Chain A
Amino acid sequence: MSALGISARAGRKAFAAAEQAWSRLWFQERPTTPLELVRIGIGAALLLHYLSASSYLLEFWGDAGLLPRALALRDSDPWMQSVFFYFTAPWQWIAFDALFLFCCAAFTAGWRTDWVKWIVLIGHISFVYRNTYLVYGVDKILAAVLLILCLAPVGRAISLDRVRAVRRIKRARLDAVLPPYTGRWAGACTRLMQIQMAVLFFYSGTTKLLGDQWWHGDALWLVFSSEEYYNGLLLDLFARHYWLVNVATYSTVLIELAYPFLIWQRATRPYLLAAAILLHVQFAVLMGLFYFSFVMIMGHLSFVRIEWLRRLGTAWKRAIGDMEMIYDGKCGFCVRSMVWFLAFDGLQQIRVRDFRKNPSPVVSDAQMEKALYLVLPDGRALPGFEAYRYAVLRVPGLWWQIPLFYVPVFSRLIGHPIYNWVAGNRSWLSSILLSRRRS
C-alpha cells in the first residue's frame, strides 16, 4: 500500500474516532426527565415571581412609571428587544402579563409545552430589557436556562402533554403502554444545560480569586454585615468564632472551583451535587436569596442521572406495592375515567382488571356492580371514593389531586355522595357520552 493510502486510512480512522467521541459527548439517546424537573421548578419559580410583580407592572415596567421608555432605550442596543417597547396603552401591558402568567403556569404543568415555552422566554426577556435596573443574578440565570429549555424537546415526560399522549393510546386499548421518549437532541440539550451550570460556577469561583476579601477569608463577614444581607444572629456567632467565617468563605470558593471539574465524573458527581445544593440552601436561609437559590438548585438538577431517577421510581413502587384497579368494562363512562386516571400513572403502579371479562378472586361481581375497587398488596379491597383517595396519595402523577381528596372531613363528606351518584348513574352517563360521540 502506498504512503498516501496509509495516511488516508489513518486519517479516516482518526476522523471516525473523533466523530464517535463527539457523538458520545453530545448526542446520546436520552430521556428528557432531568430537563423536565428543571422545567417544572423554573416554571413554578417564574410564575410565583411574576405573579408578585403584577402589582408593580405599570410602576416598574410601564411607560408612565419610574422608568420612562426614552430612558430605558437610552442604554439599549437594537438587539435588546422587549415587547413592552411596542405597547402604547396600559391594557396592553396587562393583557400581555396575563398571557405570560398563563404560559408560565402551562409551562410548569407541561401543557402545550412546544409553544408556551417560547412565550415564557419572550416574556422574561421583555421584563429584563424594559427595566435593566431591576435585573440581578437570577434573571440572567433564568434567561440562560430558559433558552436551553426552549430548544430542548421538553414536555415529553412529567407533563400534561405526556398525559394527553398516553390517554390517546389508552383510549384504543386500556393496557397499552407508551414507551418513554428518548432522543439525541434531548441528550444534547441536557449537556448544554450542564455546561451552562459548570461555566457559571467556574466564572463565579475564578472572579472571587481576584478579590482580597476572598483570599483573606473575610468575604462572608462583609456579606452578612451589609445592610442588604444583614443577619444579626449569624454576626453574633461569627464575632465569637471568627474562624467560621474563614471556613465558610474558603468553602464557598472551593465548591465553586471544584464543581466545573468534578461534576462530570461518576464517582464525584453525587458529592459535588450535594455540596452545590447545600450551598444554595444556605444562601436561601441565611441571605434571604430564596428565588436565586431555588433557580440555581433547579439548574443543578440537570446533572441528576437517569439511573438515579429510575432507582427512585423502583424503590417507590416497591415501597407502595402492587395495586389492582377493578372496573366495569361494559360501562363507557368507567372506561373513559380509567383512561384519564391511568394516564397520570407514569410509574405504572396500577394494574387494571375488567371484571366482566376477568372476574376478581377478591371482589364479588355483586360488589363490582355498585362501585370500582382497588385491591391493595395486603389483599384488602377499597371501594369507590376510598379507592381513588388511597391511590391519589401513592401515585406521584396524581399528587396534584391531594388537596381535593384529603381536606379533613370535608373531602369524605362531599366525595362519597358524588362518587355514589356517579356510580349509580354510570349507565346513563355512558349513554350521554356515546350519543355525543355519535353526533
Chain B
Amino acid sequence: MTAKVWRERVTYTAMSLFVAWHTLAMVVAPAPDTSDLIKGLRTVLDPYLHFFKLDNQWNFFAPDVGEEGRDPIGVILRYVIKDDAGTLHRFDPDAGLNWFRPSSIWFHDWYRALLENPDDFGEEFAALFCRQHAELHPVAITLFAAGQKEYGPLDRLRGKQPLDPEFVNVAPVKSFECPP
C-alpha cells in the first residue's frame, strides 16, 4: 500500500475520532449528573470541557424563570444611603440600566454577584456607590436584596407595578460605612 493511501487512512481515522469525541463532549456537558455513566464520562471530558469553556447547561429560564427557585421572578439589588444629616435615600440601580447597552447585562450580573457574595464584593461596591453619590455627603450605606413576588395579570389591570412594595420582599444584606 502506498504512503499516500496510508496517510489518507490515518487522516480519516483521526478526523473520525475527533468528531466522535467532540460530539460526545457536546452531548455530555449539559447532561444531568445523576447517572454513574455520565459521572464517569465527565471525569474524562472535564479538562477538555473546562479548557474550551464547553461545560454549559443550556438551561435558559429553566426549570423556573426565577433564580434558583428562591423567588418566583427574581432578585434585584437595592441600596439605601444615609447622608450626614441622617436622611435616607433609596436607589434601585437595576432600574437605570439601558437594554441597548451591553454593559447593562454586566452590571446586572455584577449586582447579582454582589448579593450572592456580599463578603467578597460588598466593600468595593459600597465604596463605589458612596463615590457615585458624593453630592449627598454619604456616611453609611446598606445593601438590600429585593425579591420580586408573584405579580399577576389582575394586579396589572388594577394599575399596580411589579416593584410596588406589596410585590417585593426586601431583606437587608450588609451595611458599610462610607469611606471619608
**Chain A interface residues (CB < 8 Å from chain B):** 22, 26-27, 49, 52-53, 56, 60, 66-67, 71, 77, 79-81, 121, 125, 128-129, 133-137, 139-141, 143-144, 147, 184-185, 188, 191-192, 195-196, 199-200, 203-204, 207-214, 219, 221-223, 225-228, 230, 235-236, 238-240, 242, 288, 290-291
Q: Can you list 5 residue pairs at the A/B interface with Cβ under 8 Å?
A: A71-B120, A143-B54, A143-B56, A209-B63, A226-B66
Which residues of B are found within 8 Å of A52, using beta-carbon distances? 101-103
Given A26-B19, A195-B26, the answer on whether A200 and B61 have CB atoms closer than 8 Å is no
Given A133-B110, A133-B113, the answer on whether A225 and B59 have CB atoms closer than 8 Å is no
- B57 interface neighbour in A77, A125, A133, A203, Cβ under 8 Å: A203
Which residues of B are found within 8 Å of A222, using beta-carbon distances? 65-66, 72-73
Q: Which residue of A lies closest to B128 (CB)?
A: A66
Closest beta carbon of chain B to A28's beta carbon, Å: 13
| Interface: B91 (CB within 8 A) | no
Which residues of A are found within 8 Å of B108, using beta-carbon distances? 228
Query: Looking at the complex, which of B45-53, B133-141, B171-179 is the stretch in contact with chain A?
Result: B45-53
| Interface: B5 (CB within 8 A) | no
Given A227-B163, A228-B94, the answer on whether A195 and B52 have CB atoms closer than 8 Å is no
Which residues of A are found within 8 Å of B95, using beta-carbon distances? 227
A60-B64 in contact (CB<8A): no
Given A204-B62, A226-B162, the answer on whether A192 and B23 have CB atoms closer than 8 Å is yes
B156-A196 in contact (CB<8A): no
Given A207-B63, A211-B63, the answer on whether A144 and B26 have CB atoms closer than 8 Å is yes
Complex A-B, nearest 8 residue pairs according to Cβ-Cβ distance, in ascending order: A288-B99, A211-B63, A210-B63, A79-B50, A239-B156, A207-B62, A143-B53, A133-B113
| Interface: B118 (CB within 8 A) | no
Which residues of A are found within 8 Å of B47, using beta-carbon distances? 79
C-alpha gap A196/B163 in the complex (Å):
39
A188-B103 in contact (CB<8A): no
Which residues of B are found within 8 Å of A200, using beta-carbon distances? 58
B74-A147 in contact (CB<8A): no
Interface size class of B (residues with CB under 8 A): 35 or more
B65-A213 in contact (CB<8A): yes
Which residues of B are found within 8 Å of A213, using beta-carbon distances? 64-65
Taking each of B27, B57, B102, which has the highest tally of chain A beta carbons within 10 Å of its own beta carbon? B102
C-alpha gap A288/B104 in the complex (Å):
10
Q: A192-B26, A222-B65, A227-B162 are in contact. List 18 more A-B contacts (CB 8 A).
A: A26-B16, A49-B102, A60-B110, A66-B125, A67-B121, A80-B53, A133-B112, A134-B110, A139-B53, A140-B53, A143-B52, A144-B54, A188-B19, A203-B31, A219-B61, A226-B65, A240-B153, A288-B104
Which residues of B are found within 8 Å of A221, using beta-carbon distances? 152-153
C-alpha gap A145/B39 in the complex (Å):
25
Which residues of A are found within 8 Å of B125, using beta-carbon distances? 66
- B109 interface neighbour in A56, A133, A226, A291, Cβ under 8 Å: A133
Given A66-B110, A222-B65, A291-B102, the answer on whether A147 and B26 have CB atoms closer than 8 Å is no
B62-A211 in contact (CB<8A): yes
Taking each of B74, B106, B128, which has the highest tally of chain A beta carbons within 10 Å of its own beta carbon? B106
C-alpha gap A196/B19 in the complex (Å):
12
Which residues of B are found within 8 Å of A212, using beta-carbon distances? 64
A66-B53 in contact (CB<8A): no
C-alpha gap A6/B127 in the complex (Å):
82
Q: Which residue of A lies closest to B47 (CB)?
A: A79
| Interface: B15 (CB within 8 A) | yes
C-alpha gap A80/B159 in the complex (Å):
49
A219-B65 in contact (CB<8A): yes
Q: Which residue of A lies closest to B46 (CB)?
A: A79
C-alpha gap A228/B148 in the complex (Å):
11
C-alpha gap A67/B47 in the complex (Å):
25
Which residues of B are found within 8 Å of A240, using beta-carbon distances? 153, 157
C-alpha gap A210/B59 in the complex (Å):
10
List B residues 25-79 near A (Cβ within 8 Å): 26-27, 30-31, 46-47, 50-54, 56-66, 72-74, 76
B64-A137 in contact (CB<8A): no
- B50 interface neighbour in A22, A80, A199, Cβ under 8 Å: A80
